[in-house]
Every structure is written in C-alpha cells, then in structure tokens.
Structure 1
Amino acid sequence: MNRLDNPILQVLESYKAAVWAKDVNALVALYDRDAVVFDMWGTWSYNGIASWRAMVEGWFGSLGTERVIVDFSEARTIVAADLAVVHAFATYKAVDADGLELRAMDNRLTMTLRQQADGWNIVHQHTSSPIEAGTAQVIFRR
C-alpha cells in the first residue's frame, strides 16, 4: 500500500507539503481543535489548536528565506474504527534558497488521529529523540 492509498499516510504527505510551503493554515488544518502536542522544543505541551497555531507561526516565521524538507521513513499505521495511530522516523532538513542543506535532525514521531466528517485529524502528536546516557545530550541523528 502506498501513501496515496492510505489516508493516514496521506496526512503525513500533507504535513510535508505544508511545512515546505510554510503554510500555517494548511498545517494547522491537519489537527483537531482540541489536539494535544508533545513537541521537543521548549514547551512541555501545546493544548488546543490556538497554542499549536502560535507555535507553528513562530517556527515558520523564524525561517526567513529558509525552507524545511520533511521526510518520514518506516511509517507504520494501526487503524481501528474511527481511531488510528501512525509512528515513523522524521527527518527535518533546513535548506537555503539554493537548496543547500544548512542543518538537519531526526525525530521519532507518533500521531493519534480521529476520523471526523472532514477526514482524519491529528488529536495527539508526540515527538522525541533519544538521550545519550553518559552525557545527557540529545541524539539528533539516527
């Protein structure tokens, strides 16, 4: 099954496209209004779409002319009735206007989605990276 045949994996494709375009509305539209997001950066959780929108606006606004290429690998889905879980490895690669890589990092990503009238929406997202036991440093590359 490819990503276009699987509506859950299609959400990941829409996520990638929205991040590349720095389209706040398109990215936020993937999330439920009551979504809870456990992100890696600075805040323990974002509760509700307004707080998540503010984070996305800040992220995209901080990029200037840079863009971010997102790639998901080893994505796996579990679907039961109106709930689904997807987990994957996510790579975020910042590039300049000429496409030159500036920096990159890998995360582990888990999303829970609920099927609603307008399709599948993310109700919970959790990102993480392992921590090196001896140094307590985050490991950003697989």
Structure 2
Amino acid sequence: MSENNPFLRALAMYAEAVYRKDVEAFAALYDQDVHVFDMWGAWSLRGLTAWRDMASGWFSSLGDERVVVTFDSQESTVTEDLAIGYAILTYTAVAPDGTTLRSLSNRATMALRKTGECWTIFHEHTSAPIDHQSLQAIVSRAEC
C-alpha cells in the first residue's frame, strides 16, 4: 500500500476501525457533510451524525464477534486535493476464537477531498449486482 495514496490509506484505516469496532476512528474518516449511498437499510445517509449512528448500531449489533474487512481490485485516481477510488470489500465475521462465521462482498466507491492536511471521505457508494431471476443481491463473488 502506498502511504501517499489517500484512498488506499482510507481503506486500511476503515478496515482497522471496523475490526476494533471503534466508532470514533470510523467516523474520523468521513467529512461532516458526507453523503453515503449505503447498500444496507436506508436509501442514503447524509451527514456525519447519521453515518456515525449507523456505525454505532452496526458495531454494537456484533456482540463479541469481530469483522475482518479485506479489499482487492482497488483502483484510484489522486490529484492535489481530490481522490476517487473503488474496490471490492469483503466483510468476514469471526468468532472470538477466530472461527469464520459468515462472509459477504460488495463494491465500494469513495470520493475523498483534502482540506488542509487531512483527507476525508465526502461520498461513499456501495452496491452489489442483482440476480435477474430472484431479484436478490449477489454478495459472493463466486456467484458472479
């Protein structure tokens, strides 16, 4: 991972915050006026308070489980004050003993802007393809 690429750095920090279930570290990645098109539940979420509340609910719902986030197929474009990237994110729930409980993948696109010396995500969009027959989201790459 390039330390100079804000998108890759954000992905790594995102994965760490999710694993630690650290709402504040998670929220610190995002801009105050973030607008998220999340794949789960709400059509969209606007503002850091709404996004922080989503993370708080998600992390507290995990109980003693942890979520390991990995990413691949990442691509990004970075300019002086704007970075846009996309990747496939895989979320794997693990029990306290390390046993894999379940896993799913989705596609994520993030747009970051630099304000001063800080890069923050101001837009995030997650998605998964939809099976034409069942109209169900395909959350495993093996199904594609």
Q: TM-score, normalised by structure 2?
A: 0.94
Residue range with higher mean Cα deviation, 95-104 or 73-82 = 73-82
Name the aligned partner's letter for residue 104 of structure 1.
Answer: S
Q: Aligned to 2:60, what secondary structure does the other structure show?
A: helix
Q: Is the 8 A contact 2:7 2:110 kept in 1?
A: no
Amino acid of the structure 1 residue aligned with 2:102: R
State whether residues 72 and 88 of structure 1, in contact with CA within 8 Å, keep that contact through their aligned partners in structure 2: yes
Q: Is contact 1:89-1:109 (8 Å) kept?
A: yes
CA deviation profile, 1:40-81 (whole Å, cap 9, x unmatched): 111011100010011000000000000000001011111133
Gap change, CA 1:81 and 1:12, over 3 Å in 2: same
CA distance in 1 between counterparts of 2:7 and 2:40 reads 25
Q: In terms of mean alpha carbon deviation, does 131-140 or 4-13 score higher?
A: 4-13
Match of 1:22? 21
User: Aligned letter for 2:138?
Assistant: I
Kindly state the Cα deviation for residue 118 of structure 1 after the two structures are TM-superposed: 4.2
**5+ residue gaps, structure 1:** none
Q: Which residue of 2 aligns with 1:120?
A: 119
Query: What's the secondary structure of 1:20's corresponding residue?
Result: helix
Q: Is the 8 A contact 2:90 2:104 kept in 1?
A: yes
Alpha-carbon distance in structure 1 between the residues aligned to 2:133 and 2:73: 28
Task: Give the count of matched residue pairs.
Answer: 141
Aligned to 1:62: 61
Contact 1:3 1:13 in 2 (8 A): no
Q: Give the partner amino acid of 2:82.
A: L
Partner of 1:91 in structure 2?
90
Shift of 1:7: 2.7
Q: Secondary structure at the match of 2:14?
A: helix
Distance in 1 between residues matched to 2:36 and 2:46, nearest whole Å: 7
- Offset, 1:104: 0.4
Taking structure 1 as the reference length, what is the TM-score of the superposition? 0.96
Equivalent residues of 2:5, 2:78 under 8 A apart: no
Task: Flag as ranges the 4+ runs of structure 1 deviating above 3 A.
Answer: none
The equivalent of 1:52 in structure 2 is: 51
Which is further off, 62-71 or 116-125? 116-125
Who is 1:32 aligned against?
31
Computed over aligned residues only, the root mean square deviation of the Cα atoms, in angstroms, reads 1.0
Cα distance in 2 between the residues matched to 1:64 and 1:26: 19
2:19 alignment partner, SS class: helix
